[in-house]
Amino acid sequence: MPQLELLRTDHGPALLEFERKNRAWFAASIPDRGDHYFAHFDTRHHELLAEQATGACFFHVLVDGAGVVLGRVNLVDVAGGSAELGYRIAEEAAGRGLATAAVRGACTLAAAEYGLTTLRAATTLDNAASRAVLARTGFTPAGEVLLDGRPGLRFVRDLPRPAAG
């Protein structure tokens, strides 16, 4: 079973391969990262790691036993006990329950490791698979939103508070 790992420097090459291989697949349902992202990937990767070190975000990769990146699950804009969740799964891994498992894992990490109490997410209305993942993982609709000019829904999920020990 693939494992969710906090982003590290050594994930860079596999992550770039994941993004390149799945670029068209992702662009069909979410805004494309653009050529600049790929041309300057190493710089961006190091910037993300520096941002992660501040605690303002937590970037995760879903990695199989061979080190191949099958997905990403990110928690960004961490503040006041909440964060925005975003995720993407490789085309070759879609439809196998990996997105649901990865989002559940990120929710567990968010509460237990990062001390978060609420997660937010958003997806376009035409992304039925993403809406289904959010519903299966305890997110509830919280209003309409425009995402890159496309109609979408915002979701929210309250996380369990750690038991007092």
pTM score of the predicted model: 0.91
The amino acid that residue 144 corresponds to is E
**CA 147 to CA 161: how far, in whole Å?**
30
In a domain, 163, yes or no: no
The pLDDT tens digits of the residues spanning 83-121 come to: 999 999 999 999 999 999 999 999 999 999 999 999 999
| Number of domain units in the chain | 1
Pair 84, 112: CB distance under 8 Å: no
- 22: domain range? 3-158
The pLDDT tens digits of the residues spanning 8-38 come to: 999 999 999 999 999 998 877 777 788 888 8
Answer whether residue 49 shows pLDDT above 80.
yes
CATH number at residue 18: 3.40.630.30
In a domain, 19, yes or no: yes
Which of 83-117 are b and which e, b meaning 16 or more Cβ less than 10 Å from the residue's Cβ? Answer: bbbbbbbbeebbeeebbbbbbbbbbebbbeebebb
Pair 38, 19: CB distance under 8 Å: yes
First and final C-alpha spacing in the chain: 32
